Structure 1
Amino acid sequence: MTLTGYVDNPEARQALHHRTLSVVMASQVFSGAGLAAGVTVGALLAEQMLGAGALSGLPAALYTGGSAVAALTVGRLSQRLGRRAGLSAGYAAGALGGAGVVAAAALDNVALLLISLLGYGAGTATNLQARYAGADLSGPSRRGRAVSSVLVTTSVGAVIGPNLVATTGRMAGHFGLPALAGPFALATIAYAVAGIMLFLLLRPDPLQVSRALRAHASPAAAATGAPRARPVSAGVTAGAATMILTQLVMVAVMTMTPVHMRAHGHDLAATGLVISLHIAAMYLPSLVTGILVDRIGRVPVALASGVTLLAAGIVSAIAPDGSVPLLALALILLGLGWNLGLVSGTAMITDAAPVERRAKIQGNVDLCIALAGAGGGIASGLVMTATSYAALAITGGLLALAVIPFVVVRTRRAGA
């Protein structure tokens, strides 16, 4: 069926929306496993290869820096060629990066490790950009739930990934590889499968159908050539600020938690459990979050994200070093705060961004989110080395509260 056929046939369009969600959700199971497995041991691998605890935040900085470049690239590709091309290319880059990390660990090659972590970050950016594909064909009243459906399936792989750290480590040992290379081998396979699925099955492209709908509703908006530049709306700015702040705080605290745990005698199994619970909290609440975003509004949920992240910082700071349950609770709150910010911020941006420029704007916003994560990753190791894990957690929690005044001011301007 042609794009025009979907414009003229609401039933076919609804069926396409459900099919698009199914394909994206299935691919997110694999990409979630790839993302989480590498995140769990990235800091440990860097500490092992670089021999410096202060640099253990470097992997998070590199793969979030790589995700920044990928976010921009995937957004631009999606703008020009559609979601299918952009997302498939992003996952291919992530798979290549993961393979490079495995090779670097096997060769004990620090330069290759650093370069490969940049590529690995492309998978992280693509995993996040996939949420926009789920929202392309949804109406405003169900947009939060569409985003949430994509995120919640990510949690399936994201929970499985960290819990396979020990298993993949043993398998890597059988092949003469360092144990910490195992999770990155899993990430390589997972990203490759996700990319292939989207390349083969995401047809017709949801963004291109959305543009056809817009053209049908307003022919003037679909004029050929580059769309006219317009100022970024207050709604886009508020959504971006929400996601940028929550990403910065989440990455900073999450990155240093495995290092903090190992310094106090916890093994990889305990670390994997805490991180898997954290990542589950990042994604599993999405179905409820999406309903809240659609029913009570974007702004209240965004404000709740700042309060939740502050609570996470407080629990992290007061948790005894040997208490896995309290550390797990802190990381669950950290993941939940991030989830509230991501779903509400994504809905704000999708509401406010014109469809003819939507993918480009979304890519630019995700670029800023990734840069914030990179900054959080770099700062986290330095702050913890200079002070303590508790100080890092409290600082992050207080910083997250900046979401509240910023979002209130910007959304009032948007309303005006």
Structure 2
Amino acid sequence: MRPLRGRARRPYARHRRFPVAAFRSIGGAHARADVNPATGLELRNVSLLAICQALMMTASTLNITTSALVGLMLADNPALATLPFGLTWLATTVTTVPAALWMRRVGRRTGLMTGVMVGIFGGALCTLAIFERRFELFCAGSVLVGAFNAFGQQYRFAAADAAGEAFRARAISLVIAGGLIAAFAGPNLARLTRDAYPADVFAGSYAAMIAIYVVSLAVLIFIRMPRSNVAAARITLAGFARLAGRARFLVAASSAMLGYGVMNLLMTSTPLAMRACGLSFDQTASVIQWHVLAMFVPSLFTGHLIDRFGALRIMMAGALLQLACVLVNLQGQAEWNFIVALALLGFGWNFLFVGATTLLTASYQGAEKATAQGLNDFMVFGTVTLTALGSGALQHAFGWTAVNLFIAPFIATAFCLGLWLERRARQRADARPA
């Protein structure tokens, strides 16, 4: 064999390493920060995934802003105006497990690109439905948009796959931070494109959604996900049962489910409560914008906090912030009550969701990845669908005070789950021989 001339080139040698804090105990009480390297490849992948997350959330916010108005314009019965939006959430829930299964089969990048193409088709159907004045076609397009959203929820898990253990918490947090752009871009894009076709109001908005998805597809081309050497396990009911029996998975999935469900219930009830209090639409819009900012601004530093204190403590802090939201809501119904409460709600959601996602990645073996992520998202977005469908009826029947009292036990449950797992981890650590 002829000797190689010069220095041998190592794979990815061109990617410099950057110091980041390590996260030694994802789910335990003894998190510790050391200096560990993250490669340039990891940073590039996470940056591209954050862009994709921002684009997905921008399209989603645009859809939230316009869907009910388009439904009202197209439906023969005004009571059906919110049906397309409900179908979007339902499709997201139903597609979570198939999306995870497809990515297990074809890989992250191809799976994510498939989802984006579904979204492009959905946006095209919605645009055509507005031109043709066909409500049922708009419903069909909304289903496909919801299906894409299920694929898009995998961006944070793709970030976890793309990052080493030392960078994982920050990678997840930074990708979720992409939603910060959507807080401004989504509503403003809907406003700017609303009358792009004067005879067909909102057709321009859904045409803009298609453009967003096309840009996402282009960004995904440049992602280079690391190859896994672990054979994926088949997704089975037995696999679901095995995961549900693990303490870390149970706490992670349940906390994400409770935190997201509580947030969505209060967020969708707030405009109704503010209207009942005689507050204006502009005041309501201001409250919601502060809430969305509070949901995503913490992602700029949540990963650092998880590295420093551990995922469980950050999750418990999130539950306490959501309980503080309830207390502020119970103090009165002035505009400042809603602003402060919804900001606390957003902060609490971020700590719970990012912390729970980080904890989840430590709850399964590599072969169980698709099963664990699919089951987690099915639980989370199934709950979100139920709260989206039931929030209006609950607010109308019982009022704002009752809604807040109703959710308090669920928030307390999330806190207690985190406390239980932390104490369990501490007891096991103390029981180990020195």
TM class, shorter-length: 0.7 to 0.9
| In structure 1, distance between residues paired with 2:302 and 2:355 | 8
Distance change >3 Å, CA 256–CA 191, structure 1 → 2: farther
AA aligned to 2:270 is: T
Unaligned runs of 5+ in 1: 213-221
| Correspondence 1:190 to 2:201 | no
- The TM-score with structure 1 as length reference comes to 0.82
Q: Is the 8 A contact 1:255 1:380 kept in 2?
A: yes
| Correspondence 1:177 to 2:191 | no
Q: CA deviation at 1:242?
A: 0.9
Q: CA deviation at 1:169?
A: 2.4
Give the paired residue count.
393
Report what 1:360 is aligned to: 371
| In structure 1, distance between residues paired with 2:330 and 2:188 | 25
Q: CA deviation at 1:143?
A: 1.9
| In structure 1, distance between residues paired with 2:388 and 2:250 | 23
Q: Is the 8 A contact 1:163 1:276 kept in 2?
A: no
AA aligned to 1:352 is: S
Q: Is the 8 A contact 1:310 1:398 kept in 2?
A: no
SS in structure 1 of the partner of residue 177 of structure 2: helix
Distance change >3 Å, CA 160–CA 327, structure 1 → 2: farther
Q: Is the 8 A contact 2:235 2:370 kept in 1?
A: no
| Correspondence 1:63 to 2:88 | yes
Q: Is the 8 A contact 2:46 2:162 kept in 1?
A: no
Matches within 5 A, 1:7-406: 14-46=39-71, 58-171=83-196, 174-179=197-202, 183-198=205-220, 200-203=221-224, 205-206=225-226, 208=227, 211-212=228-229, 222=230, 231-232=242-243, 233-260=246-273, 264=278, 266-267=280-281, 271-316=284-329, 318=331, 320=333, 323=335, 325-406=336-417
Report what 2:24 is aligned to: none
Of the structure 1 ranges 256-265 and 61-70, higher mean CA displacement relative to structure 2 is found in 256-265
Distance change >3 Å, CA 129–CA 306, structure 1 → 2: same
AA aligned to 1:293 is: I
Distance change >3 Å, CA 178–CA 271, structure 1 → 2: farther
Q: Is the 8 A contact 1:55 1:382 kept in 2?
A: no
| In structure 1, distance between residues paired with 2:314 and 2:232 | 38
Q: CA deviation at 1:145?
A: 0.9
| In structure 1, distance between residues paired with 2:172 and 2:42 | 12
Percent sequence identity is: 28
Kindly report the root-mean-square deviation, in angstroms, between the aligned alpha carbons of the 2 structures. Answer: 3.3
SS in structure 1 of the partner of residue 194 of structure 2: helix
Q: CA deviation at 1:390?
A: 4.3
| In structure 2, distance between residues paired with 1:141 and 1:348 | 14
Q: Is the 8 A contact 2:90 2:382 kept in 1?
A: yes
Query: Which structure shows the bigger proportion of residues in helix conformation?
Result: 1
Q: CA deviation at 1:410?
A: 4.5
Q: CA deviation at 1:393?
A: 3.9
AA aligned to 2:158 is: A
Unaligned runs of 5+ in 2: 1-8, 18-37, 429-434
| In structure 1, distance between residues paired with 2:379 and 2:156 | 17
Report what 1:218 is aligned to: none
Q: Is the 8 A contact 2:183 2:292 kept in 1?
A: yes
Q: CA deviation at 1:333?
A: 2.0
| In structure 2, distance between residues paired with 1:188 and 1:65 | 21
| In structure 1, distance between residues paired with 2:207 and 2:385 | 23
- The TM-score with structure 2 as length reference comes to 0.79
Q: Is the 8 A contact 1:69 1:367 kept in 2?
A: yes
Structure of higher CA gyration radius: 2
Report what 2:418 is aligned to: 407
Distance change >3 Å, CA 319–CA 5, structure 1 → 2: farther
| In structure 2, distance between residues paired with 1:384 and 1:44 | 21
Distance change >3 Å, CA 395–CA 101, structure 1 → 2: farther
